[in-house]
Chain A
Amino acid sequence: MSQVVQPIEAEPLVQVRDLHSRLGDKIIFDGLSLEVPRGSVTAIMGPSGTGKTTLLRHLTGQLHANSGRVRVDGEDVARLPRNALFALREKIGFLFQNSALLTDFNVFENVAFPLRQHTKLPEVLIRDIVLTKLQAVGLRGAANLMPSELSGGMARRVALARAIVFDPMLILYDEPFVGLDPIALNQVLRLIGTLNRTLGITSILVAHELAAVRRVADRVYLIANGKLVAQGSPDELAHQDSPWTRQFFGGEADGPVPFHYPAPDYASELGFAR
């Protein structure tokens, strides 16, 4: 059996090849290629507006590229028919930036939602699974609260419990650290690490917080202007001497990413020059 499984295991879980994509007139990706090995934690970083979230949406087939290929678990996402795409999505957990909990349901029902939709498990079993997942994120006691009663950090942990309820092979985190206090940030960081180590879940996270990324990611891809501009382990990148990494990790206001939005000449706009 292992002979059959072996070549697939060796293949990276996510492969993006020469991705070109545009939204309206704006070019989002201009020949982006990257790979995410199985069992790794990969961070995708880059200046705001470079399409990091858009990339996640390409991985899940919510958006289609103009050209290039996105393969997840060996399947070409853009070519999958809807049923197969939904089957693939059941194996992917997605953590939305604003948690996206269903506001009609309480915490328990939110975590149980995917189970109820896709399985016919008896209620006792659903209860056990949901409580196990809530215990893992430390919120078993909050099972009866409504989403409106949760703080931002708690909501994100509930969303994480919901994302792992099917034990996915891949979790996509969209800015998981935004708006969290240091305690909540540490809790989420620890959960990402634990899920990766104990369950072997491959993780891709889009984030800006270098300190947090350093603690959890094996590999970082830095994207800017629709292209991959740097890659490597977090420490390698922090010490790499390219203009992109210098500006991004040094937090310099001006550099390859200009401070000024493109504009006509300043003096002529004020009417001083002719």
Chain B
Amino acid sequence: MNTAVRRNWLLNGIAQVGECGLFFLEILIALPKSLRHSREICRQVWFVGAMSLVIVMTCGLFVGMVLALQLYYTLSIFGGTAALGTVVALSLFRELGPVVTALLFAGRAGTAVTAEIGLMRATDQIDAMEMMAVDPIAYVVAPRYLAGVIAMPLLMCLFNALGILGGHLVGVTWLGVDNGTFWGNMTSTVDLWKDIIDGVWKSLAFGAVVTLIAVYQGYNAPPTSEGVAYSTTRTVVFSAIVILAVDFVMTAFLT
């Protein structure tokens, strides 16, 4: 019986990935129709993007500051503190920016989207739209999905900018790295295409999967309080796993 339960669990997991893929296709099919709801898309970009600004920018600042402290210590062992600006920027652009922004986004915006759609389902609002001959995928799901994909890279850029500012504050203002060396080494080493744009690709991919998980969990949440709570938790858990897994695969291919 134990193996049966385990196999069931495994099959259910695979079935859910499959359902999620089909749901993704439904969203893609509904996307052209949802472009008519431009007002709704703007509202959602504001909701998932602008409302996440405070947490993303604060965290970016602190991540940059910690990064500068740790790297200054490591670099000073080799007498290479002049490279501080370069290393901080590369770590942020290539890795920390996309990944940490995506994790924060899943916690801040992903959960909000799941809970909102789940509650719309539980209070019959999704059914009411169906009854008013409005496709809920085109009106509710697709705009939120699009908004997530648009907002994520923008948030990552701000995260990186604040991170570098934090690194500059600690490295130059506090630890006394030369200002010119900090910026000069950074700008001469960091490559627009290889470093910055690669980070943007990652961020776009994270935006696509995190928002897909969020809308899928919300749309299929059982219409009860526990159901919505459970789905919200799952959004965060699945997002975290998928972000780090996709990050590994993309890093392997991009470098």
Contacts and interface: CB of A to CB of B under 8 A. Distances in A.
Contacts of B123: 98, 100, 103
Contacts of A103: 120, 123, 125
A87 B133 contact: yes
A117 B131 contact: no
Interface string B33-59: 000000000000000000000000000
Contacts of A35: none
B127 A100 contact: yes
Interface residues of B, number: 13
Interface in B124-138: 124-125, 127-128, 130-135
A102 interface: yes
Contact of A100 (B124, B133, B134): B124
A274 interface: no
Interface of A: 60, 62, 86-87, 89-90, 92, 94, 96-98, 100-103, 113-114, 117-118, 162
A94 B131 contact: yes
A86 B139 CA distance: 15
Interface string B13-27: 000000000000000
Contacts of A96: 124, 127-128
Interface in B109-152: 120, 123-125, 127-128, 130-135, 139
Nearest to B122: A98
13 contacts: A60-B131, A62-B131, A86-B135, A87-B133, A89-B131, A89-B132, A94-B131, A96-B124, A96-B128, A97-B124, A113-B134, A114-B133, A114-B134
B132 A98 contact: no
A4 B132 CA distance: 29
A37 B195 CA distance: 70
Contacts of B120: 103
Nearest to B129: A102
Contacts of B124: 96-98, 100
